Amino acid sequence: MMHLKNKIAVVGVGTTAYGTFPEIDDYGLAARAFRNAVDDCGLDKGRIDGLLCCRVPFYARMGEILGLDPRWTIQLPPHGRMAGMAVVEAMIALETGAADYVALLYANIGRSRRVNYGGEEVAGVWDPWGFTSPGAAHAMMFRMHMERYGTTTRQLGEVSVAFRRHAGLHPDAVMKTPITLDDHAAARPIVEPLRLLDYCLINDGAVCLILTTAERARDLRKPPVLISGVGARDAFRRSAIPNFDPDFWYAETREAGEAAYRMAGVGPADVDALMCYDNFSPTVLFSLEGLGFCGRGEAGAFVEGGRLQIDGDLPTNTDGGHLSNSYMQGWALNVEAVRQLRGECGARQVANCEVVQYVAVTPCTRSIIYTRG
């Protein structure tokens, strides 16, 4: 992928309101996000010849609704870890000429349709022991982190507090009421050691990103945001417990991060803002260690004192993340990266923002480094 450095650009981003919208379905939300992204870049939608759908039920119906006949179409499964994977797929399609302008669409109606995670009707291996849900898997990992490194739930609370503060500065965010470390500690336990404020929100909404080559991007409305680096590594051999890894995907995160840094020619010290997949708060600690923002086992101490907050050393999830902005499964974090680099973030804008990193530490770990064009 090295030769793709700065060759592909994000030119348009669009999001919907976030909340509970029983009156509209996922296609309708995706169409709104698409229209907003098209308006954002000023592209004639007839030129979009690539379509990627994630969590939108059926790509053909989506294309019908939007009036698109692409040359390149991909449907990804409705899993949380797909956003970074989608961006990489789109880069490859644009580089090879399989498509010239790609729209990536994600929609989620899990809130109004009452989707629950855990206790699925399809029986899982560990169900007979009562073990289910991605949150429980992360609780299991965080307990290991506590035992190995002495990390505390109060340190974990720093993550939730920082992101909630950012959500308060973000007009679109779902959860804006400020919280304290004590609120975090007093929140209802769900699967201990995790509590309610360690869990992502579940809400409806949709996101669209439009990508093209850096060359074509110059003709569009806004300054392009370049994709300077990407890195990837999956971990399926150790995936017997869903959403769990006995080593917190450390080696995979290191590898994906190093690949992205090498390609972009930057390091952790150059990152002005981090967009970190926060399905559950412990994932943020695993990400910081894997990417090398701090040493192994040191993320608990690293996040203390508001380091992840907008005025801290490493502003992270400036939109509020999954914990407080919106459950857009990584997609909204990629949009926030673009908006930060464009300087569109108002009260939550990171000053002199030039390098933004996205990371999703999951069984399919991906990292993307965005820079100003």
| Residue with Cβ nearer another protein (178 or 246) | 246
From candidates 96, 123, 177, 352, binder to another protein by CB under 8 A: 123
Cα(249)–Cα(253) distance, integer angstroms: 6
Site string for another protein, 77-116 (x = CB under 8 A): ---------------------------------------x
**Residue 143 DSSP SS3:** helix
Tell me how far, at minimum, the Cβ of 312 lies from another protein, in Å: 30
Site string for another protein, 246-265 (x = CB under 8 A): x-------------------
| Residue with Cβ nearer another protein (133 or 155) | 133
Tell me how far, at minimum, the Cβ of 159 lies from another protein, in Å: 19
| Residue with Cβ nearer another protein (60 or 196) | 196
Cα(317)–Cα(152) distance, integer angstroms: 21
Binding residues for another protein, total number by CB under 8 A:
32
Tell me how far, at minimum, the Cβ of 120 lies from another protein, in Å: 9
Q: Hey, what are 6's tokens?
A: 């700065």
Tell me how far, at minimum, the Cβ of 157 lies from another protein, in Å: 18
Site string for another protein, 230-249 (x = CB under 8 A): -------x--xx----x---
Q: Hey, what are 351's tokens?
A: 């000053």
Tell me how far, at minimum, the Cβ of 148 lies from another protein, in Å: 7
Cα(228)–Cα(8) distance, integer angstroms: 8
Characterize 296-325 residue by residue with b for buried, 16 or more Cβ atoms within 10 angstroms of its Cβ, and e for exposed. Answer: eeebbbbbeeebbbbeeebbbbbbbbbbbb
Which CB contacts under 8 angstroms, 24+ apart, belong to 128-134? Answer: 133/191, 134/80, 134/242, 134/243, 134/279, 134/280
Tell me how far, at minimum, the Cβ of 151 lies from another protein, in Å: 13
Does 134 participate in binding another protein (rule CB under 8 A)?
A: no
| Residue with Cβ nearer another protein (131 or 250) | 131
Does 131 participate in binding another protein (rule CB under 8 A)?
A: yes
| Nearest CA-CA partner of 8 in 72, 86, 107, 77 | 86
Tell me how far, at minimum, the Cβ of 331 lies from another protein, in Å: 26
Cα(100)–Cα(359) distance, integer angstroms: 26
Tell me how far, at minimum, the Cβ of 195 lies from another protein, in Å: 9
Q: Work out whether the CA dihedral 145, 148, 154, 159 comes out positive or negative.
A: negative
| Nearest CA-CA partner of 27 in 64, 81, 76 | 64
Report residue 227: phi and psi, to 5°.
-90, 110
Q: What is the dihedral of CA 264, 268, 270, 272, to 10 degrees?
A: 110
Cα(29)–Cα(173) distance, integer angstroms: 16
Does 296 participate in binding another protein (rule CB under 8 A)?
A: no
DSSP string, 244-270: --TTTTHHHHHHHHHHHHHHHT--GGG
Tell me how far, at minimum, the Cβ of 57 lies from another protein, in Å: 25
Tell me how far, at minimum, the Cβ of 12 lies from another protein, in Å: 40
Does 297 participate in binding another protein (rule CB under 8 A)?
A: no
Site for another protein in 136-155 (CB under 8 A): 136, 139-141, 143-144, 147-148
From candidates 128, 177, 311, 352, binder to another protein by CB under 8 A: 128
- Length reported for the chain: 373
Q: Which stretch binds another protein (CB under 8 A): 183-191, 257-265, 326-334, 337-345?
A: 183-191
Q: Which stretch binds another protein (CB under 8 A): 23-31, 190-198, 217-225, 302-310?
A: 190-198
Cα(32)–Cα(43) distance, integer angstroms: 15
Applying CB under 8 A, the residues found at the interface with another protein are 116, 118-119, 123-133, 136, 139-141, 143-144, 147-148, 188-193, 237, 240-241, 246
